[in-house]
Amino acid sequence: MNRWISILVLSALASWARADEAFAKDIRPILQKYCYGCHGAEKQKGKLRLDTLDLNFDRGQSAERWHDALDQLNQGDMPPEDEPQLTAVEQAALTGWLTHRLKAAAEARRSTGGQGVMRRLTRYEYANTLRDLLGVKLDFAKDLPPEPASPDGFKNNGLALGMSAEQLEYYLAISRTALGKVIVEGDAPTVVKARVEKSSPIRRVKGVTGNTVVPGAQYLAKFDEFPREGTFRLRVHASAKVPKGAGLPRMRITIGVRADVQAPQETLVVADVKPGAQVLEFTGRIEDFPLPGHNPKYPGLLARITNEYDDGSGFIKRKPKKPKKGEKAPPPDPDLANQPVIEINAVEFEGPLFDAWPPVNHVALIGKPGEGNEESRAMTAIKRFMTRAYRRPVTSKESGAMFDLYRVIRKRSDSFEAAMRETLALVLATPDFLYLVEPTAGQRRALNDHELAARLSYFLWSTMPDATLIELAEAGELRAPQTLAAQVDRMLADPRSAEFVQHFTDQWLNLSGINRVAVNPQFHPKFNDALKVDMRRETQLFFAEILRTDASALQFLDADFAMLNRDLAQHYGLPQTDWPAGVAFERVALKGNGRRGGLLTQGGILLANSDGEQSHPIRRAVWLLDRVLGTPPAPPPPDVPELDGNSPELRNLSIRQQMEVHREKAACASCHRGIDPWGIAFEEYDAVGRWRENWRTNPKAKPQPIDALAKLADGTELTGMAGLKQHLLAHEKERFAAALTRKLLAYALGRSLEFSDAAAVSALTQHFEKGDYQLRALITGIVQSEDFLTK
């Protein structure tokens, strides 16, 4: 049996007989020796009597009293100072037992009986759905409150997704804005077309500005006329000059107002520019960018083009030298000659863009003007829209009620279009749209085909089902196992599956942690924060590549390729001949020294589990145990200070030695023996994920050699990352497969797994292992499983 299952058996289902046995053998003697004297039959100090306190942690007040006892023990408040004290071993046994039992009881209380609950769409699901329902690409989720992750790390957990008046107000505001974009009135707007060739002269702009853009310099295009609503297109006529050995220049285009300070600007795109003349074309929604106010102090919309090429020499961070007295121009930076340069010939702006007037999306929602009378148009449009928004057929009673609402609204509105905007916006605030409802009166039942289509599309696309899924549901064919398998293939091949890759990878591996670590420039002077974005992307694309090529998921543990762009390849110290040309990611074969390969050596993972200065073996170990092996260690007890590397006792010790000192303290040893060695194996990688042979306690200290020899709790010795990977592949495959299966199943179902899911997980894990660890097989297995097909 898999290890996590056995742990679960012990914690969640422990038969009382067995638990009592352990209690009688190990715990009661300790309580008798130290506690019953004051909290027993004779005395009940603090009105607490432990010898008769209920051992059933699931109900009543006893759990709270035990919890209280645990706190007192942990804080060292009990036993009182003048009484005999527990030995470290006794202390660990007693607190360990209490912690374990309390945790199991808490899990039991959270149980939903292995059933999902009516689940609200997450922030990103809501935004994607609105985009697909209305055909408008706008950042809809911007104003919604951020969402919490469940204890297992997922944001689509139905129990954790709450609702409040504020949230509902935001939904109303957003859907109104959105419908305002789709349903238009009046004549077609004037299209603004403008072309700028020479970089616009703007006063008080700092830095080098012109048509030739070296790293750190900029080109500015100012457009006096611009639309305030709608899609726009920006065409950049450019070429690149690339010195031998350099990469392609990295172009960032930002749109916004004012150029004289770090002014409001949002990024439109980051892209490579290749040698030779080319026209690069980008589109965006103008409302997503900061615009000048009406009657502004700084009029005009600015497109700013910068060159963010970073050769790792620190060139991009250097400020241009100021001319010395008597010099007219500053001496050129010697590194300048080696930098790739963007040459801008012209920038063209056009917007708002529309396919027809009224636009196709408008017609799709409410039809063309003059097609029948208002009421019949409204009736048809409302029913059609509700069917799509609710992801199911609607009854005539439902659409009739909404039509009655329309009639009330129509009387208050100036036009048919305005009334339709309001009505449809309000449809988007009903629970049928905001939640995946799947009504059942408690008992388990099979999902109907429409519910299944929705579950499937929110699992693999994070958005509403498309026409094909709906058709299959209408025909009642979707639930056939072969159909489901074929749909999984189709959906994974669709670009929308990038949503699954992104959100699952982020949440499974906790990649948002990358943004929570601030890299200290004194320790890592050449680290460019733009790398954080690349690192997150690398791990997502790595997952996508394994999924796409049907490669074994064991490659997550070690792989002979990586998904890299130039900056990352350079950061990782790959041979220059292997570096991709620019910002675009490529599949790079890893040859030679085995320093890279698999999730464990990816910068995002290493950085997110560091402190921005030093590597953090404990965080890395906890991440490995939790996210990859599925057995998170218990959180540290209260009142335990973090290791302070600067204390005199530890200052000159290596991390490994510091941790040994730490483990010598008996209170820490019991847990850290099982944690630390896993992290020691990561020691060949510094805080920002670079390979190293030496490390320093601070930037000025002498380098000391890395010691990455780790001894696991069971006595196994392994050296460094190579040793760790070998060990995982040789001995922990099943544990990893079960962990990944659990994570994927929890994400697919939108709920935490429980003991009642153990059999399903076990079957799916076997299926996964037999299918050569192919993700596609696992996903198909999940989709065809009883759990996925029922509520």
Partner 1 sequence: MANTFDLNRRTFLRGTGAALALPFMESLSHAKAAAELPRRMAFVYFPFGVALPKDDAPGGEWNWFPKAGKTEKDFQFRSVLKSLEPLRDEVTVMSGLSHPRCRSLGGHDTGDTWLTGHRLAAPTYSNTVSVDQLAAQHLGPSTRFPALVLSSDGGVGEPTRSTTISFSRTGRPVPALASPKQIFAKLFGQTTDDQQARQRLNNTQSLLDLVLANSKNVRGKLGARDQAKLDEYLDSVRDIEKRVEQSQKWLEIPKPRVEEKTLDLSATPKGPEEYIRVMYDLMYLAFQTDTTRLATYMIGQVAGATTIANSFPTAAGQQANWHGLAHGAGKKPEALGKFDQFLAAQLARFLTRLKDTREGDGTLLDRTMVLYGSSNSRTHNNTNYPLLLAGGRGLGLQHGQFQQYDAKTPFANVFVTMFDRMRLPVDRFADSTGGLDALVG
Residues 408-467 that bind partner 1 (CB under 8 A): 408-409, 412-413, 422, 426, 429-431, 434-435, 437, 439-443
Closest C-alpha to 596, from 489, 695, 689 = 689
CB of 253 to partner 1, least distance (A): 20
Structure token digits, residue 765: 């894990």
Cis amide leading into 637 (omega within 30):
no
Instruction: State which residue, 376 or 646, has the beta carbon closest to partner 1.
Output: 646
| Interaction of residue 190 with partner 1, rule CB under 8 A | no
Cβ proximity of 438 and 451 under 8 Å? yes
For the CB of residue 497, give the shortest distance to partner 1 in the complex, in Å: 28
What residues contact residue 333 under an 8 Å CB cut-off, 6+ apart? 315, 318, 320, 321
- For residues 759 and 696, give the distance between their C-alpha atoms in angstroms, rounded to a whole number: 49
Nearer residue to partner 1 within complex by CB, 374 or 398: 398
> Rounded distance, CA 241 to CA 249, Å?
8
Of 419, 434, 409, nearest to 179 by C-alpha is 419
DSSP state of 117: -
Tell me the backbone φ, ψ of residue 407, rounded to 5 degrees: -60, -40
Binder of partner 1 out of 21, 54, 64, 288 (CB under 8 A): 64
**Based on CB atoms, which residue is closest to partner 1, 61 or 190?**
61
Q: Pick from 236, 268, 342, 402: which binds partner 1 (CB under 8 A)? A: 402
Record the tokens describing residue 14, joined without a space: 């422990």
CB 573 within 8 A of CB 551: no
C-alpha radius of gyration, the chain, whole number? 31
Supply the minimum distance, in Å, between the C-beta of residue 403 and partner 1.
11
Rounded to an integer, what distance in angstroms lies between the CA atom of residue 605 and that of residue 513? 8
Query: Among residues 113 and 245, whose Cβ is nearest to partner 1?
Result: 113
Of 75 and 593, which CB lies nearer to partner 1 in the complex structure? Answer: 75
- What binding mask, one character per residue, do residues 592-631 give for partner 1 by CB under 8 A, x or -? -------------------xx------x------------
Nearer to partner 1, 719 or 790 (CB): 790
Nearest distance, CB of residue 374 and partner 1, angstroms: 17
Q: Minimum distance between the CB of residue 515 and partner 1, rounded to whole angstroms?
A: 10
Stretch that binds partner 1, among 58-66, 454-462, 564-572, 672-680 (CB under 8 A): 58-66
* Residues of span 239-278 touching partner 1 by CB under 8 A: 264
Nearer to partner 1, 163 or 208 (CB): 163
Footprint of partner 1 on 669-728 (CB under 8 A):
none
Measured CA to CA, the distance from residue 213 to residue 220 in angstroms comes to 10
Pick the closer one to partner 1 by CB: 139 or 642.
642
- Which tokens sit at 679? 């992290």
According to CB under 8 A, which one of 401, 475, 713, 759 is a site residue for partner 1? 401
Between residues 640 and 701, which has the closer beta carbon with respect to partner 1? Answer: 640
Provide the 10 A C-beta neighbour count for residue 698: 12
What minimum distance in Å lies between the beta carbon of 503 and partner 1? 17
The minimum distance between CB 98 and partner 1, in angstroms, equals 12
Distance CA 362, CA 181 (A): 9
- Cβ burial 671-682 (10 Å sphere, 16+ → b, else e): bbebbbbbbbbb
- Of 120 and 566, nearer to partner 1 (C-beta) is 120
Residues between 630 and 669 that touch partner 1 (CB under 8 A): 638-642, 644
For 183, the token pair is 């349903």
Which residues are within 8 A (CB) of 558 and not within 5 positions of it... i.e. 6 or more apart?
Answer: 597, 598, 600, 725, 728, 729
CA pair distance 182, 719, nearest whole angstrom = 60
In whole angstroms, what is the distance from residue 268 CA to residue 139 CA? Answer: 13
Q: Shortest approach of partner 1 to residue 642 CB, angstroms?
A: 4
Of 162 and 705, nearer to partner 1 (C-beta) is 162
Q: Which lies closer to partner 1 via its Cβ, residue 434 or residue 535? A: 434
Which residue's entry shows tokens 């942990």?
74
CA distance 721 to 608: 17
CA-to-CA separations, 426 to 252, 768, 785, in angstroms, rounded: 39, 44, 36
Residue pair 413/385 in contact by the 8 Å Cβ criterion: no
Residue 146 beta carbon to partner 1: minimum distance, rounded to whole angstroms: 4
State the minimum distance, in angstroms, from the CB of residue 389 to partner 1: 14
Question: Measured from the CB of residue 685, what is the shortest distance to partner 1 in angstroms?
Answer: 20
Minimum CB distance to partner 1 smaller for 180 or for 573: 180
Instruction: Select 61 or 577, whichever has its Cβ closest to partner 1.
Output: 61
Cβ nearer to partner 1, comparing 581 with 643: 643
CA distance 662 to 704: 20
Interface with partner 1 in residues 99-118 (CB under 8 A): 105-106, 109, 112, 115, 117-118
Nearest-approach distance from CB 51 to partner 1, in angstroms: 20
CB of 415 to partner 1, least distance (A): 12
Closest separation in Å from C-beta 434 to partner 1: 8
- If one counts every other C-beta atom within 10 angstroms of the C-beta of residue 508, the result is 22
In 3D space, the residue among 386, 427, 435 whose CA is nearest the CA of residue 172 turns out to be 427
Answer yes or no: are the C-beta atoms of 316 and 188 closer than 8 Å: no
> What is the DSSP code (8-state) at residue 338?
G
Under a CB-based contact definition with an 8 Å cutoff, are residues 373 and 416 in contact?
Answer: no
- One symbol per residue from 143 to 182: x for binding partner 1 (CB under 8 A), - otherwise; what is it? x-xxxxxxx------x-x-xxxxxxxx--x---x------
**Closer of 519 and 564 to partner 1 (Cβ):** 519
Q: φ, ψ for residue 420 (rounded to 5)?
A: -65, -40
Measured CA to CA, the distance from residue 566 to residue 582 in angstroms comes to 5
Select from 13, 17, 7, 108 the least CA-distant residue to 63.
Answer: 108
Count residues binding partner 1 (CB under 8 A).
70
Q: Shortest approach of partner 1 to residue 755 CB, angstroms?
A: 17
Q: What is the chain's percent helix, strand, coil content, to nearest 5?
A: 45, 15, 40
- Which residues 489-548 are close enough to bind partner 1 by CB under 8 A? 513, 516, 518
When the beta carbons of 231 and 399 are compared against partner 1, the nearer one is 399
Q: How far is the CB of 183 from partner 1 (least distance, A)?
A: 14
* Tokens found for residue 84: 């005999």
Beta strand 250-256 with 301-307 is: antiparallel
Taking the complex as a whole, how short is the minimal distance between the CB of residue 460 and partner 1, in angstroms? 24
Site for partner 1 (CB under 8 A): which residue of 14, 202, 246, 405? 405
Six-digit token pair at 130? 């609105």
| Site of interaction with partner 1 (CB under 8 A) | 63-65, 67-68, 71, 75, 105-106, 109, 112, 115, 117-120, 143, 145-151, 158, 160, 162-169, 172, 176, 264, 398, 401-402, 405, 408-409, 412-413, 422, 426, 429-431, 434-435, 437, 439-443, 513, 516, 518, 611-612, 619, 638-642, 644
